Structure 1
Amino acid sequence: MTPEVEARLNEEAQRLGVTFPPMGRTPRRWWRMWKVPTGPVLDLPSDSGKAVRQRIVAAARSAIIFSLPFHILGTVCSALVPWAMGRALDTVIATGLSRAFAVDAGLFVLIVVLMAVGDATGHIGQSAVYNAAALTPRRALGHRTASRARALSRSHSTGDIVAVVSTDTRATGQYGELIAEGLSAIASVSLIAYLMLSQSVTMGLLVLFGVPLSLMILAAVSRPLEKRQEKARDEEASLTTVCADAVQGLRILRGIGGEKSYAAAYHRQSEAVRAASVHVAGPIALLTTIRVAVPLILSVLIVGVGATLVYRGQLSSGQLLSYYGYAIYLRYPMWIAKQFFEGWARVRVATRRIAQLCAVPPDIANTARPHSDEGEASTTDIAWEDAQLRIDHNDLNLKPRLITGLVTPKPALGQAIARAYGYVDETADFHIDSVAASDLSYDTVRSHIVLSEASPQVFSGTLRDDLLAAQATIPTAQGVTENIRRLILDSASNTEDTVIIPAPHPRDGELLRALSWAHADDVLSSLPGGLDGYLNEKGRNLSGGQRQRVVLARAYATNAPILILVDPTSALDSHTEARIGADLQSARGGRTTLVVTQSPHLLRHCDEIVVLDTHGVEIARGTYDDIADSIERIAGKKEGGTQ
């Protein structure tokens, strides 16, 4: 934490009357496996859940190998505690408080210390395993969903995507944790069986037959659990979708009085989730019963058989104590077995869902599809500022260095043309001068052609970062102390606003001009901190008109050689539209710009206007004054069609 950040946090704490609690020392450097995953994103397979599990385990391999020896040390020492106690008891009975007893007592203490070291370090290792097995695939899925947002929105509901990224990756993390624990439990049970067999074959056979039989029963019970968990997970995803839809349309719901309808839908889906959860509870309860009952039954058998052997003189008192301790200890491996089978059912469902999500292809692959063997067409031959765009199927030309208004009788037609120029899907059939867009990669085209669609998409973060978009500086990771202090301040403020830390950017002047051209100056004044002010998720702390103007300012701030705007003022009043139109030339004059709109306040300031008919055929082209009649005729058709 820098001194500037610390001073700002202390200032905010003083304003809120908050006192930070004392903080313990934290390491200056963390081992790599305990850090949040960074670097190249994990490439998750899409062919099967099994392949996903294998890839995740491979990603967590280093952490598992690190934690496994410590887990084994802790569990083996735990299993040896009853042996050491029984040995010490036999020694003190035979020799009293002798040197031999002191040696056995020292051995007992050593085993307990090693057990503590193994357990503590093993749990630290578990954190590393969870990071690798949960956060790594979660990060990979985040990147994948961001690059396939349009395609995924057609194949998966919002709730399903959220469930995959959050719930399912949590299941993979828990599964990864159980690998080391399961192997260490096997090692400890094997040791107990050996110790018991070496002293009494009868007692050893009880463990050798009892534990595997219990595992077989647990495996049989876990089979129906998988289907029930899959059903419960689907219902939870549907409930998340209901909630997400309500949050997105909260203003509309309140405006039309739809709260009761939403409450009814939420109630119905909540009941479905509850019913599915109750259905899952049966097998889980049976697994828990077996996990608790088996060690108790073994304890009764071991104590009963052991007492008989002691009575016959075939077993010492210390050995009986050890056997009883072994039986009690078996609760731990049985608990691990129960967790493993329950987690196994859950992770099979989770990885299948992850594979299904990963199988959704992007609308456009980021690779060129050349018509020759020369690879991607060279972009050095394209002067993007002076390039002419042409849609092939209707021969629609977009002239360079002009602001062109596009008027269509149907909004869907204008949007389709804008998306064709914006290279949104594989069906785009346009040329940049003589180069086909299909001969260029997606990133190449979209780095020069920026599309700003009608629905304003505002992201959480500072206003500055929202305007900078892809050019925003990636924030440095916050330390533990800073994170805790920020959480304390966020809780004390009782608002969604976060602590404002000024972070000037070299492009601040350009951003302020873009906001001015978009007439979004009121956004600056409404957010505490101006450009450093925080926008909530989807810009919920802004009005609809403010969000649209922020998006327009972001489009201006890209300084793109070619900019495409779709209905950029549809949520604004005519007075604001007129002011934005008056500044259109200042913002984009001399650069290729397409404005899909029917607003006369914007069209009057375009260099050229193109009017299309219902089939997408050009019927007029010229200035606003030259073709005003054609514009009014097409606009009249649209109004007539919507009445």
Structure 2
Amino acid sequence: MQIQDLPYPDPGVPDARSGPRFLRWLFRNQLGGQLKSLAWGLLHFGSVSVLPFCVGLAVQAVVDHSGSRLAVAGALLAVCCVGNAVGETFLHRSAITNWITAAARVQQLLARKAALLGSALTRRVAAGEVVAVSTGDVEKIGWFVEAVSRFTAAAVTIVLVCVGLVVYQPALGVVVAAGLPVLAIAVLPLLPRATRRADVQREKAGRATELASDTVAGLRVLRGIGGEELFLDRYRRASQEVRHAAVRSARMWSLISAIQVLLPGLLLIAVVWYGVHLAREGRISVGELVTVYSSVMLLTYPLRHFEEIAMAYSFSRPSARRAARVLSLERATDTGGSLAAETPSGDLYDPDTGLLAPAGRLTAVVCGDPDAAGVLAERLGGHPSEEGVSVLLGGVPLDDLPLDSARTAVLVQDKDPVLLSGSLRELLEVPASGGVGAEAALAAAQCGDVLTALAQGSLDAEDPMDARITERGRSLSGGQRQRLALARSLVTDPEVLVLDEPTSAVDSHTEARIAEGLRELRAGRTTVVFTSSPLLLDHADRVALVHEGEVVAVGVHRDLVHTEPRYRAVVTRETDEETARHERVRTGSELNDVLDALEDIEETA
């Protein structure tokens, strides 16, 4: 395929069992481009390798004072120069095409996998590693894929030249044919060490990228707590480790390059010395000596491709391994499920914790562990637990639904939702049922002041909906970003909406209004809110307390505050001493009730 055919309608199903298998799969899927590159490479290297024969023929023609043979040599030389120019031009074109198409295919596969897994991807693979795979690693993978055809053309050319030299001048040809394989394999003992050093460099670079990604994402928080310099120092140290590893790797590759220059030079000296000896004895002509000498000198060019293919494989192997690791991640639906014909509706139930969210009701979930709450929220969105337990919607496992159906049925808003750059109108242009308009969603999320701020901050947008939002909404406060993300979720109007701490960054007055707007707008739709805010809990139809991985109490907020100490400890943030005091008071009150009942019985008797 050509570059104009990108992106591929279907990038295919990769063989992600290992890095080498993934590289072979890429090569097979570009077989047409590889063969084209091989053909142009053979023309290019073949034209270069024939030049010495033309030069030797011309020299011998001059020695023999033969004008006709000199003319033939000149014509052959012109043909070889044209073939060299055409072959090199189209070899470069086809090789770059193979490089770009391989990198683009890998990027498409990674993008498809990221869309398939959603936020679960960064829970299973570090965000920095995903960034490293989708940027630097795809280039190295593409480099190896395109270098294979050029290396093959160079290897075939070397074999043909050796055979030709043996036939043309057996005495010198045997020396060249015996020496060239030694030159090709001389660097093999150094490759394992060079590969290990390259792996260490890539590993340290990946960790540095991950650290940089995490630091940039939390820069606002780091500045607030005065930890910016601390993390910058950590990144500087990581960057220096990458530099030292790169220098160590470069030293090994420079040694390999030096050997690739030294050994051909030694072979050239040996051929010239032996050839002069044969010429003095009259066993070879001057033209034959020039031909063999020129051939050995020019063969150092295709020999460089042995070094390049070794370097390309050494750098691409860890990159391919990381890419294969990401691409091998699967959602349960990928392994085969009973695809439902229609998106189900009904109660949302998690067998792992016993959490039940009745259809059409607003259910609040209180969990003392924020990380456990995030995992549970993701599971409600269709990602199974480590034991493979799937959430049920209307009695149907979400993992048995096609991905599109599962995402249409259940939408999960993360604790830290991302706002993409663009206008507010573009932000709210998401797949939706059409039942909730943008104005209603913005009003329910209490985004009035956000619209005002966007309008004031925009110089060319008369309508706040056309105001630009910077990358990740960095120009907005945390509460403003949170409310816009909530409005975006409300616009989609899914069958089930799961919100993880949707109001953690807003003030109490705004939070109370959001709670009212959320309840009104989502009336008749299933909504699950993970929160510990009394303002949201008080508006919920049903509140469930999750403790140590299971639901331990269900009720309404006002009752649970008085009857469930664990619930009260999470919601009111009371200390252990306050919990014990409340328990003593409750126990004493119950004892007084019992005594009063006994007194009533005695009086009656």
TM-score by length of 2: 0.82
Q: Which residue of 502, 514, 521 maps to 2:451?
A: 521
Query: Mind listing any 5+ residue stretches in structure 2 that lack a counterpart?
Result: 577-605
Task: Give the whole-Å Cα distance in 2 for the aligned partners of 1:328 and 1:213.
Answer: 16
Partner of 1:171: 140
Q: CA RMSD in A?
A: 3.4
1:495 — aligned with what?
none
**For 2:11 and 2:95, how far apart are their aligned partners in 1?**
22
Secondary structure in 1 matching 2:81: helix
Residues 34, 128 of structure 1: 8 Å contact kept: no
Whole-Å separation in 1 of the counterparts to 2:352 and 2:152:
63
The letter of the residue matching 2:333 is A
Question: What does 1:444-523 correspond to in 2, within 5 Å?
Answer: 444-460=405-421, 463-469=424-430, 510-518=437-445, 519=447, 520-522=450-452
- Asked whether 1:245 is paired with 2:172, we answer no
| Map of 2:481 onto structure 1 | 547
CA 1:255/1:515 → structure 2, altered by over 3 Å: closer, same or farther? same
The Cα shift of 1:421 comes to: 3.5
Q: Which amino acid aligns with 1:421?
A: L
Match of 1:217 in 2: 186
1:616 maps to: 551
Taking a change above 3 Å as real, the CA distance of residues 274 and 407 of structure 1, as seen in their structure-2 partners, is closer
Sort the Cα spacing of 1:139 and 1:442 in 2 relative to 1 into closer, same or farther, 3 A: closer
Q: Does 1:300 align with 2:300?
A: no
Partner in structure 2 of residue 88 of structure 1: 58
**Cα separation, partners in 2 of 1:536 and 1:42, compared to 1, 3 Å:** farther
1:64 aligns with 2:27: no
1:117 equivalent to 2:80? Answer no
Is 1:561 the counterpart of 2:495? The answer is yes
Q: Which amino acid aligns with 1:57?
A: F
Q: Kindly state the Cα deviation for residue 560 of structure 1 after the two structures are TM-superposed.
A: 1.0
State how far apart, in whole Å, the 1-side matches of 2:424 and 2:84 are: 52
Which residue identity is paired with 1:193?
C
Give the CA deviation at 1:220: 1.8
User: How has the CA–CA distance of structure 1 residues 621 and 337 changed in structure 2, closer, same or farther, with 3 Å as cutoff?
Assistant: same
- Offset of residue 397 of structure 1: 4.2
Whichever residue aligns with residue 51 of structure 2, its letter is: V
Q: Is the 8 A contact 1:33 1:63 kept in 2?
A: no
User: What TM-score, normalized to structure 1?
Assistant: 0.78
Change in Cα spacing, 1:109 to 1:635, as seen in structure 2 (3 Å) is same
Summarize the alignment of residues 369-448 of structure 1 with structure 2, pairs less than 5 Å apart.
Answer: 375-376=338-339, 379=342, 382=344, 384=345, 387-392=346-351, 396-407=355-366, 411=370, 415=374, 418-426=377-385, 430-437=391-398, 440-441=401-402, 443-448=404-409
Q: 1:365 aligns with which of 324, 328, 333?
A: 333
Classify 1:326/1:509 alpha carbon distance in 2 versus 1 (closer, same or farther; 3 Å): farther
Which whole-Å CA distance do the structure 2 matches of 1:619 and 1:514 have between them?
A: 29
Deviation of 1:263 (Å): 2.7
Give matches, 1:257-406, under 5 Å.
257-362=226-331, 364-366=332-334, 375-376=338-339, 379=342, 382=344, 384=345, 387-392=346-351, 396-406=355-365
Residues 1:74 and 2:74 aligned together: no
8 A Cα contact 1:76 1:188, kept in partner = yes
Match of 1:6 in 2: none
CA distance in 2, matches of 1:167, 1:393: 40
Structure 1 residue 394: deviation in Å?
6.7
Q: Does the C-alpha gap of structure 1 residues 509 and 532 become closer, same or farther in structure 2, counting only changes over 3 Å?
A: farther
1 CA distance for matches of 2:92 and 2:546?
69
The CA distance in 2 between the partners of 1:155 and 1:389, in whole Å, is 25
In structure 1, what residue type is equivalent to 2:216? V
- Indicate conservation of the 8 Å contact 2:49/2:295, yes or no: yes
8 A Cα contact 1:306 1:320, kept in partner: yes
User: Residue 642 and residue 263 in structure 1: after superposition, are their counterparts in 2 closer, same or farther (change >3 A)?
Assistant: farther
CA pair 312-537 structure 1, distance change in 2 beyond 3 A:
farther
Cα separation, partners in 2 of 1:236 and 1:406, compared to 1, 3 Å: closer
Whole-Å Cα distance in 2 between the matches of residues 596 and 348 of structure 1?
A: 43
Question: Which residue identity does 1:452 align to in structure 2?
Answer: Q
Please tell me the residue identity of whatever aligns with 1:66: K
Aligned twin of 2:592: none
CA distance 1:343–1:636, change in 2 (3 Å): closer
Give 1:531-542 correspondences, 5 Å limit: 535-542=469-476
Q: CA 1:257 to 1:299, structure 2 compared with 1: closer, same or farther past 3 Å?
A: same
User: 1:468-509: per-residue Cα shift (whole Å, max 9, x none)?
Assistant: 4467xxxxxxxxxxxxxxxxxxxxxxxxxxxxxxxxxx9899
Paired residue type of 2:248: H
